[in-house]
Structures are given as C-alpha cells and as structure tokens.
Structure 1
Amino acid sequence: MDSSPNTKHIAFLGDYIPRRCGIATFTADICEAVATAFPQTQCIVGSVNDRPEGYEYPERVRFEIDERELDSYRRAAEFLNINNVEVLSVQHEFGIYGGPAGSHLLTLLREVRRPIVTTLHTVLSEPNPDQRMVMEQLNQLSNRFIVMAERGQRMLESVYGVDPGKIDLIPHGVIDMPFIDSNFFKDIFGVEGKTVLLTFGLLSPNKGIEYVIEALPAILKRHPNVVYLVLGATHPHLLAHEGEAYRERLEQLAKKRGVANQVIFHNRFVTVEELKEFIGAADIYITPYLNVAQVTSGTLAYTFGAGKAIISTPYWHAQELLAGDRGVLVPFRDAPGIAEGVNHFLSNPTLMTAMRKRAWKAGREMIWPVVAERYMESFERARASLSRPSVEMAAVRTIENANYPMPPLKLDHLYTMSDHTGIFQHAIYNVPNYHEGYCTDDNARAFIFTVLLQEAGERDSRLDRLASSYLAFLWYAFDANTCRFRNFMSHHREWIERAGSEDSHARALWAVGTALGRSRDHGHRSLCALLFQRGLSPVARFSSPRAWAFAILAIHEYLRAFSGDRVVSQMRDVLAGQLLGLYRANAGAGWQWFEQTVTYDNAKLSHALILSGYWTSNGEMLDIGLTSLRWLLEAQTADSGHFTPIGCHGFWIRGGERARFDQQPLEAHAMLSACLEAFAVTRDTNWRDAAQQCFEWFLGRNDLGEPLYDPTTGGCRDALLQDHLNQNQGAESSLAFYLSHAELTLVKSRAIETPQTCAA
C-alpha cells in the first residue's frame, strides 16, 4: 500500500464513543487506526445520537445526527458536501439509524455528493421487506461494501445480488497484543493462581451467559480453581426498559447453582487499556451467543487476535474464524457442551497452547494498522470506481449534448479576486484567500486577459483600472538590481522571496510582450517596453523548458510591433533551438515529446515551436511543433472524444501510466491556445475543433460530466478530481477559463488571414 494515498479527507459515520455500543467502539477504532496509519489524512466523524442531549464527544466528532429526525440527515449531507470530504465511510447496522429498518440513512446517502463505502456489521439471510428495501438502496448508493466474514460476502451476492467486484472482505480489527502468559495480569483482578474464563461485551439475554453459569458446576468438579469473569455494562436500551433485571437473574442463577463465589461481574464499560488487561488475564474466552445469524463479533475478534483459547457457539463469524483448529465450537444452549469444552482444554494444556498460537498468528493480519491500510485501499478503489462510470456518463452526455454553447463572459469573480494591489492567488470557494497573498504568475495572466479584452473592443473603466493594477504589480515585482521578477507577495505587500522561479519570470515577460504587441494604451506600452528590455537577457541563462517557451511567446508578441529587432529575434532563435534539441534528445517511437515526463502547461512547448517554425520558415521546427501537439492531443482525448488532461498526481513518466487526476484548468487552456495557433498556421479545421473540445471541458464535457465553470460567479473551479470537483475558484483556474473564452471568441469573431499569436 502506498504510504501517501490520494485520499486526504475522510468522514466516518456511525455511533461513536462515549456512547456505549459495539458500533460506537468500532467507529472510533477504525477512525483512529486510519488517522494514525495515514497522518497526512484528515479524519472526521458524524455521530448518530439516540438521545436528545447527545454525548460529550471528543474533538474528532464534527457533526451530530438526531437518530429520529429526518432533516438532521439532510443537514449532515450538506455538511459533508461543503467540507471537501473525499469519501464517506458508513458503519451500517439496521438499528442505529431512524426510520423503518434504519431507512433515514438513505436520505443522507442520496444527497451526499461523495463516494460511499459501507461497512456492514449485519448481513441478514432472510430480511423482512423493509430490511430488503434498505439493502437494495444501499447497493445502489454505495460505491463499495466492506464485510468482515466470507459468509457475509456470499450472502451479499446471493441474497441481494451485489456485484462481487464491489465487495471488500476486511476482518474486524483487533488490538495488537503480544503472546504472553495470562498470569502476568491476574493479580490486577485478585485472581492470581486461578484459571480464568472470560466473557465480555454489553449484557443482554441473547449473549447466553446463563449457559456458562449452568456449566460451571461440572467444570469446578474437575478444575476447582476456575473463576468466570463477566465483563460489561448492561446494554443501554435494555437498561432503559427493564433496568438490571437480566444481570440480577444471572446472579440469582449463580447462587442457585452454588457458584456465586466463582462468578465475578464487572458491571462497567472499560477503556481499551483496561480491556487489554482483562483479555490478558483470561485463559479461555467463551462466547455462548444464541443467534446463529451473527456475521460479526468484535469481542470474538479481539480475543482471537490476542491468542486466547476460545470456546464458542457456532454462530457464523465463529464458524469462520475458529476453523482450522483455532478454537472449539459447542452447540447452542448446551451447558454440558460448554463444560466438556472447558474441561477438554484444561486437561490438555499442550492442545490449548497450540490452538492459541494458531489464532495469534492468524490475528496478525487483523491488527488495526493492517486493517487501516485495507480500508484505505477500499476508499481509493471507491473513488476510482466512481470516476470510471462517470467517463461513460460523460460519453453519453457528449452524444446527447454535442453542442456546449459558449456562456457570456461574466467578470464578477475577477473583480472579487482583485484589489488595488493586484489579483489574489487563491480563493476559499469563491472568496479571496488573503493568507496566500498575490503572485506574479497570476497578475501576468490577468494583465494578458485585459489586453485581449481591449483588443476585442471591450470598453470598461473598471477593466482599465484592473489592467493598470496588474501592470503596476509586475513593475513592482521587477528587481532592477538583479533584473529578475519576484513572484510571491504576502497580503501585507511584503515579498517573501528575493527572486521568483524561471517560469514566473518568463510569464511576466510574456505579459509585457503581449501588451507591446497588442495594447493601444501608450503608457502601458512604454512601461512594458522597459520591463521587456531589462527582463529578457536573464532568460539566456535559464534551464526550464517552459520558461524558454513562455519567453518565445513573449518575443513573438513583441515582434508584432518591432519585427526588425535583431537582438530579440536572435534570442528567439536560441531558445527555439534549445527546445528543438530537447525534443531530438528525448523523442522516440511512441514518445513524441521534449522530456521523459509530461508534467504541467505542456502544450506551451509545442506552441512555442509552432510559432518559431512558422515565422522563421524552419520546416523541421514547425513539423515537430505540430507533431508533438498532435501526439499530446491524442494522449489527452478519451475514447468518447472528450478532453482529459494529464493529471498532476503523478503526471506521465515515459513507460508508465499517465495520471488521470487531478485535472487542472491550466492544461485545458494551454492546449486550447496551442490548437488555435496550429489552426492559424495550417488552416486545418481539426485544430479549431480540438480547441473547442478543450473549451467544452470547462463546461462539463469531461470525465465527470460536471462543469468547472460557475455561471453564478463567472469563476472556474480549481480542479477536476477523480470523484468530485475542487470547489475553490482561485486565480489560475479562473484566468484559464477567461483566457480560453477570450481567445476562442477572437477566433470566432473574425477570419484569420495570417497566423496570430494566441496569448495566455
């Protein structure tokens, strides 16, 4: 298992401690196990309350659900949707949720827009109509099921028709305890020198404890040093209806059978550390449960994993776990059988030790860290499975909605994200994130966008002010002493680095070059000329291929106005030659690319060579630009015909599989811009259609069939993940949409007589 999974935000749903029930304990255990095994992952809990006042929950519990209130489930779903949860882990038991057979849960699951992994703590072979309905709905709404026993898996398939491919068999987690002598713990409970039998768990009549008490006289007759510890508080629901009547009946039975001194009741709900001591002190663990249809038992799993000798009635989980001589099964409601099993163990210590060792060794695959890894694997599969059907869905939508109309340009979010200093880098949803401040990269993109709008004839005083702010930021970012642009600035207008990256420097050049080639604002052009002249020379020392490409785009924009500048033309030739050499060194059969890894802003490399090859009449350079772009387009086109950019989680290393997610708006824009340049050069309408295909990615023609463009704000969401959208609308993603819109609009609004450098 990769120690760095893609899943970073997980919500667990179920009962939770300090509520006293097995599901509450399990939810807490699996949540903490996952959080411990994957510390970079944020784990939160939604807990179901069975009483109006709720419980004093630990901080892990972020929201509460009133078991009986349907609206509470809807509010919980909305909480999950707005809190960037990536997967929901549901603990399912019919009795812990409201409605017939716990059907209130379905309301939450229908409204939550996240992959769902449901752990089934009960699987019924003969469900009533309400239970069957709930299970059928769970099958439709859950991306995966987790069961803890093979019988549960078989019943899901045979009784409920669940696809075997969506079922994960993961054992109940157990405490990691060493294989040690029980005498080490016995003095804690005052039973040193005794042979200890143990049963633990919430007390209720279905536990069958009375049959162990009935068996004690026959056990004591042969082994008089035996004591029987009964650990656990009475089940809260039973306590509410009849108090301690069941425990009192057990105490009276012990007196009646003359074994009251050998039966020790511990009427409390213990911590994990205390439970380890009780289990450690036990020589034999007994589960005399009365119901065969019990597919999971946490108490059985815990003692099995601790390597205890176990005697159990043959309910389903016990049959499976104790197979292979890892324990002894006795008939239901059979006190003589229990006595015979205990006496057989105590008379054959070698046999008992061998069974203990087999159980303990098998239990190493059940300890919580191992189970946590298995759960994370299931979560990752759930997210992956959600994206695969969505690809098919997107294909269907593509056929049904072949036309994705271009929305009108709405700049509300651009104004929201900008102030008199510049444009903020990031947003929390659609609200500027002051903590992340500003960067040169985004102000350069924003300045290019205002230039394109002015070229298209937009006349708006607000845009003029924004353009001046963005250019002023670039001027302030330029360090005259080093001739380098700084990149990151705090909200307090303090630079947090002495020099920015090569890429950010070249993007700034690209912005001022665009103004020199296209702007009609004399003041802007004059300032841009200063920045261009002073900032170009450092590029000769750069090693970043993308910085070379951005600088080439900047130069071609500049040469629109100053085509006779030999020094700048020579710099273009040097940088384009370096890109050409890079391609020659790395390209080969099946890999027509400039590097051994395809990473980010990829199409800019092809774009730069297309421009340089065309304007310098270098046929080889133009051909490589078009060939590499065509190869990249084919690699980023799904079988159904929609654009699917290479994801940033792993990118694409030569010889490996390309990362499908997270898909970035930056890639859609880079590809669109390059395709428009290819169309301008070749007049091949396939390139124009490819650009349209890239633009439609923003509108919902993508792997999830979900639009990244937000028509209510005019902004664009930050990424398309494998199962949902990143709902933040940062500057880079929104500007990628704005620039794509502007470039495509320019092409559609006029016939292109000669190649035009497509900005962005």
Structure 2
Amino acid sequence: MSRVAGPAVPLAADCEQHTMPAQSVRVALIGTFAPRKCGIATFTTDIFEQLGNYCPDVAVDVYALDDPNSGTEYKQACEVVDPNKDESYRRAAHRINRSGADCAWIQHEFGIFGPNEGAAICGFVDEITLPLIFTLHTVLTDPSPHQFQIIRHLIGRATRIMVMSHQGRNLLVEKYGAPAEIVDIIPHGAPDRPFGRQETLKEAFGLVGQNVLMTFGLLGPGKGLESVIAALPAIVERHPNTLYRIVGATHPTLIAAEGERYRRHLEAQARELGVEKHIEWDDRFLETPELLNQLETCDIYVTPYLNLQQSTSGTLSYAVALGRAVVSTPYVHARELLADGAGVLVEPNSSAALAEAVNGLLDDREWLSAMQRRAYRIGRTTIWPQFARAGAKLIRSAVNGRNLAEVSPPAFAMQPVTQTVSSPQALQPTWHDLSTPLIVGRMEEINDRADDARLG
C-alpha cells in the first residue's frame, strides 16, 4: 500500500503508475520497516509517518526488506523484498521503475541487504533507473576493502546522500571521495512533547521518589551495560533511592545463537554486586508511544555504548528532545548532539567515570534541572516537523537536481528557556575528564550493526 500525498492521489496496493497532483512528488522508500523490531525499521517507519503528517505533497511507497516467509505482515508495503535473493531485488527494482515514483530513498546498513556485508545492494541499485537517495546509517572510519568498495559503489550511483552527523559527512568526502555537494546532513528526528511531565509519569509507572536511570535498546554485548551495573554500588551508596531501568528485548540474533545467556550474565553480575534490587528489567521491544512515556520518567538517560563509531542513536535523539539529562560514552552521535551541554561524556568501559557523572548530577539538582532544560531546547531543532520538512527538501533536491551542500531543519521558533544555574560545573564543558586522549578508530567488532545501532 502507498501512503498518498493528497486527496487527488488514490491509494494503490499495487503501487503502479499514478497521476500525481501538480507539484507533488512520489518516493519509493526502501529499508526494513515496522512491525519488524529493529532500529532501521523504526527509522524507515518514522520517515513514512512523519512525511505523511507534515508533508502532504509527498507520497511514499514502501518496499520492506525481509524474508517473505518470516510471518511478518507488512500492511503498508507495496512489496516485501527478500534481501537474500537476487531475483527479489530485480523484481522490486523493475516495479519501482514503472511505479511512477520520482526517486528512490534507500536506507543503508551493511547488515540488512543479505550476506557478504550486504553486497547485493550494488546490483539492486544498478537496476533502478530513478534518482537515488541513500541514508548511510554507518560510515566507518576504517572499513574493510569490501565495505569501502560497497560505499564507493553507492556514492557512484547517488543523486543525494543523507547522513546524520558532521563526522559522517566529513568521512564520506575526505575518505570515500564523495562529492561534497551531494552529501546532506539531516539530524535524526525526534518527538515533540511538552516539558515537565516527569512526576506525573513517574506516578503512573510507580516510580515516585526514585532517581531513575534508564537505557533502552536491543540487549547485546556492545551496549556497555556491564559498566553501568558495575557503577551502581557507588551510586546507590550515595543515592539509595536510585533505580536503573534496563528496557529492551535481547537482540534476536543473540537469542538465536544462545538464548538468554547474555541477560542471565548481566543479572548474575547485579547479584554479585548486591544491586539486583536497584535494577528493573523490562524485556520488551517497546512501541514508540510507550517508549516515550518511559523515557519521560527517567532523570538521567544512559548510553554507555562501546562502538565509538556509532553515528546515530534514535533513543538518544528521543531522550534529548524529551528533556532528559544524558550520561554517555563519546560515540559520534553523542559527541555532536551533547556538545552544547545536554549531557556528560565519560570514558568507555569506566564504571568509576559513570558513577562520578551520575552522582554529580544527582548531588546537584540545579545542575541536573538546567541540563534537562538545555536538552529540551536543543531537541526543538530535531522535532518531527523539522525532520519531515528537511526530508521533503532532500527528496525535491534529488528530483530537481539541485545542489544542497547541507540540508538542515530550520531553527524552531521558541523563546529560550530561562535557566538559573548555581553550580559552577554547569558552566563548564560537558566532557567528563578522560585520563587519555580520545582516538576514534575502528572497533574490532561492530556487532549486529543492522539492528543494534540505530534505535538504542
């Protein structure tokens, strides 16, 4: 099924050629998609929904990447594309070409286009005759030769490329040789909710009187949760009413390989440290409305990720837009989004640094409150209306062949939040002191990039 851009455009389950109203555009959107439970699927679905909400002159046809035998029903998709079969790619490409779409927008992550680092995407894009937009969710600092060649191939076919970080754009231009004029930066979108509802939602979730820390995402070894659990003894010693909420199902790849062994390992660590009563587990992949409600209950959102090349975290964007203070390791997205004071960056794998950062915020409520307000203000530039308009502008630039060196949402018109900051710490840079200089290089293992890194 396609989502229509206006009343003159019929719903068309077959996604064949349509008559578009004047000045409207149609885009074929390709990626994993809801109800699949992964970050790329959430992001692709957000594009679909938010363009529908805010840009009625843009029609979207969805082509969902998944095994057709997975049992998942894609009611909003024109076609399900089997990422492991060349014939499925060819059939989808030919359908896109004759659909009347003005361009195709492909979400790229190495793990979602089948085996061999998703090399099948190269043949797929060569079959599509429309202008091509790529969202590159991972731009590696030190790719393998094969990964490098895949990205170079996509650059050669691209009309426009979207990334969500300045570092990603710089890498594409300087390392991968992408023409600077086709690489656009659009920050990850986020919800727009009122500020100041935390206590009401804490009451609804039974969390009144507690200092709530939270991490959300598919559980796996790359999340760095061990460091937060190891930091809890020092945190609860000073703030005994602290609860760390670990929200999210175990990564399905990990489940298939070893069941819940990893989760049991984390639970055992908590018992050994005597902090099991200070951890609450919610073993589910939450739908967005409930996720947002849970995020609003937390005082501090923690992203202790180990992959410092991670250029996008959907939940980090959500947390900042909802006005949550953040303690995070300095991966790419966190460094950029938190640069203006929405969080504290700490050394990876350091429970001592995590404990010091969290205790510092809980010790100084004025600093914590100021950081939350600052986060909310920063988040106004990434809320869905801004993201959707930037996405529509990106689509039109691809269709019309215009050069946009950088596409960014315009600043949201609002009065600055008045803050009273008594803590001298609040006026200092938000980097937590690192004992050694930070060098961002290739992680030896970037596990399950397709599902692990873009929503959580």
Whether TM-score is above 0.5 comes out as yes
Aligned pair partner of 1:18 in 16, 35, 38 = 35
Matched AA of 2:169: Q
Alignment pair present for 1:39 and 2:56: yes
Is 1:53 the equivalent of 2:70? yes
- The answer for the alignment partner of 2:335 in structure 1 is 319
- The residue identity in structure 1 corresponding to 2:167 is R
Q: Distance in 2 between matches of 1:347 and 1:5?
A: 59
Structure whose alpha-carbon radius of gyration is higher = 1
Helix, strand or coil for the counterpart of 2:56? coil
Q: What's the offset of the Cα at 1:181?
A: 4.0
Q: Secondary structure at the match of 2:401?
A: helix
Distance 1:376 1:24, change over 3 A: same
1:530-577 CA distances to partner (integer Å, 9 max, x unpaired)? xxxxxxxxxxxxxxxxxxxxxxxxxxxxxxxxxxxxxxxxxxxxxxxx
Correspondence for 2:145 among 116, 122, 129? 129
Q: Distance in 2 between matches of 1:40 and 1:151?
A: 32
Aligned to 2:373: 357
Q: What letter matches 2:174 in structure 1?
A: S
Other-structure match for 2:280: 264
Residue 192 of structure 1 corresponds to which residue in structure 2? 208
> Which sections of structure 1, spanning at least 5 residues, go unmatched?
388-760
Counterparts of 1:98 and 1:199, CA distance in 2? 29
Judged with a 3 Å threshold, the aligned counterparts in structure 2 of structure 1 residues 335 and 51 are, in CA distance, closer, same or farther, namely farther
The answer on 1:244 being equivalent to 2:240 is no
1:525-536 paired onto structure 2 within 5 Å: none
Contact 2:68 2:80 in 1 (8 A): no
Distance 1:240 1:5, change over 3 A: farther
Q: 1:302 maps to which residue?
A: 318
Alignment check: 8 A CA contact 2:106 2:135 kept: yes
Residue 234 of structure 2 corresponds to which residue in structure 1? 218
The correspondence of residues 458-477 of structure 1 with structure 2, limited to 5 A, is: none
Equivalent pair of 1:234/1:267 in contact (CA under 8 Å): yes
Task: Please give the alpha-carbon distance, in whole angstroms, between the structure 1 residues aligned to 2:373 and 2:114.
Answer: 43
Identity %: 41
Higher relative contact order (CA 8 A, sep 6+): 2
Structure 1 or 2: more helix by fraction: 1
Q: Cα 1:105–1:117, aligned 2, differ >3 Å: closer, same or farther?
A: same
Q: 1:74 aligns with which of 90, 114, 119?
A: 90
Match of 1:368 in 2: 384
Structure 1 residue 225: Cα displacement = 0.5
Amino acid aligned to 2:150: V
Q: Are the structure 2 counterparts of residues 229 and 181 from structure 1 closer, same or farther at C-alpha, using a change threshold of 3 Å?
A: same
What is the DSSP-based 3-state SS (H/G/I as helix, E as strand, rest coil) of the residue aligned with 1:146?
A: strand
Taking the aligned partners of 2:223 and 2:185, their CA distance within structure 1 comes to 26
Match among 157, 162, 166 for residue 182 of structure 2: 166
Write the letter of the residue equivalent to 2:47: I
- Displacement of 1:187 in angstroms is 2.6
Q: Which amino acid aligns with 1:64?
A: V
Residues 566-581 of structure 1 mapped to structure 2, 5 A cutoff: none
Alpha-carbon offset, residue 7 of structure 1 = 4.2
Cα offsets for 1:589-637 (capped at 9, x unmatched): xxxxxxxxxxxxxxxxxxxxxxxxxxxxxxxxxxxxxxxxxxxxxxxxx
Whole-Å separation in 1 of the counterparts to 2:311 and 2:286? 24
> 1:265 corresponds to which letter in structure 2?
W
Q: Does 1:179 align with 2:195?
A: yes
Q: How does 1:208-607 map to 2 (within 5 A)?
A: 208-385=224-401
Code of the residue aligned with 1:43 in structure 2: it is V
* Cα deviations by residue, 1:308-339 (Å, 9 ceiling, x for unpaired): 00000011111111112221001000001100
Deviation at 1:54, TM superposition (A): 4.5
d(CA) in 1 for partners of 2:68, 2:257? 14
Q: 1:692-736: per-residue Cα shift (whole Å, max 9, x none)? A: xxxxxxxxxxxxxxxxxxxxxxxxxxxxxxxxxxxxxxxxxxxxx
Q: How far apart in 2 are the matches of 1:37 and 1:205?
A: 38
Secondary structure at the residue paired with 2:91? helix
| TM-score normalised by L of structure 2 | 0.82
What is the SS of the residue equivalent to 1:95?
A: coil
1:100 Cα offset (Å): 2.1
Coordinate RMSD, CA, aligned: 1.6
**2:393, 2:241 → 1: CA distance?**
47
Deviation digits for residues 387-407 of structure 1 (CA, Å, limit 9, x no counterpart)? 9xxxxxxxxxxxxxxxxxxxx
1:93 aligns with 2:109: yes
| Aligned AA (2:348) | F
Whole-angstrom distance in 1 between the partners of 2:45 and 2:182? 24
Question: What is the letter of the counterpart of residue 205 of structure 2?
Answer: F
**Structure 2 regions of 5+ residues with no counterpart?**
1-5, 7-20, 404-456
Could you tell me which amino acid in structure 2 is paired with residue 137 of structure 1? H
The correspondence of residues 642-657 of structure 1 with structure 2, limited to 5 A, is none
1:386 Cα deviation after fit:
8.0
Cα distance in structure 2, aligned partners of 1:47 and 1:68: 13
